[in-house]
Amino acid sequence: MFADQGRIEARIKLARGQGLWPAFWMLGKNIGTVGWPTCGELDIMENHGSDTTSMSSAVHGPGYSGNTPFVHVQHFSPGSTTDFHIYAVEWDSLGISFFVDSVLHYFVGRSAVQQYGNWVYNQQFFVILNLAVGGNFDHDPQSDAIFPATMQVDYVRVFRRGG
């Protein structure tokens, strides 16, 4: 469980291959009572396993989910997504900032979110790191896929904002 404001980061080496969906994300603690997307979701890093040149970050909530206006694709030099990178998110009452290797790559302001729906990022969140296989995000693995596949996590760090 993560506090309602602060920073969380993880040093991750992504899995490669079509059909793999490595992700580092957060889901509102109240998912069981209000459902998705009302609980809020922060996608710190999502990657199509078949794409070695980019990853995305997104903000989902009531009125701005799925094909949300708050998705940003971060491009890398070819093949560099196979290296370790530090993916991070910081948020407070004014907005949400996404980082790769300590460089800000995307900011979503609270006022922009509230043009679409409620700001739901003033609560605790579950932190999730997972490697999904198949589905509609990167399709199913091809017959030449190599398993087992691994998303390597070196560390996860959580910093709570004082106040």
What confidence category does residue 1 fall into, taking pLDDT thresholds of 50, 70 and 90? Answer: low
Instruction: Examine the pLDDT at 96 and tell me if it is beyond 60.
Output: yes
- Answer whether 116's CB lies under 8 Å from 141's CB: no
Residue 79 is predicted with a pLDDT of 67
Those residues whose C-beta lies under 8 Å from the C-beta of residue 158, and which sit 6 or more positions away, are 2, 3, 6, 7, 8, 127
Residue 78 is predicted with a pLDDT of 74
Give dist(CA 120, CA 114) in Å, integer: 10
Instruction: Examine the pLDDT at 142 and tell me if it is beyond 60.
Output: yes
Instruction: Examine the pLDDT at 163 and tell me if it is beyond 60.
Output: no
Which CATH number is 6-160's, of 2.60.120.200, 3.60.20.30, 1.10.760.10, 1.10.3860.10? 2.60.120.200
Structure confidence by residue, pLDDT tens digits, 29-77: 999 999 999 999 999 999 988 888 889 999 999 999 987 789 999 998 8
Structure confidence by residue, pLDDT tens digits, 71-94: 999 998 876 777 899 999 999 999
What confidence category does residue 125 fall into, taking pLDDT thresholds of 50, 70 and 90? Answer: very high
- How far are the Cα atoms of 26, 70, 81 from residue 37, in angstroms, in the given order? 12, 13, 29
- pTM for this prediction: 0.92
Residue 87 is predicted with a pLDDT of 97
List active site positions.
Answer: 41, 46
| Residue ranges of domains in the chain | 6-160
| Tally of CB atoms within 10 A around 68 | 18
Q: Is 64 buried (19+), middle (13-18) or exposed (0-12) by CB count in 10 A?
A: buried
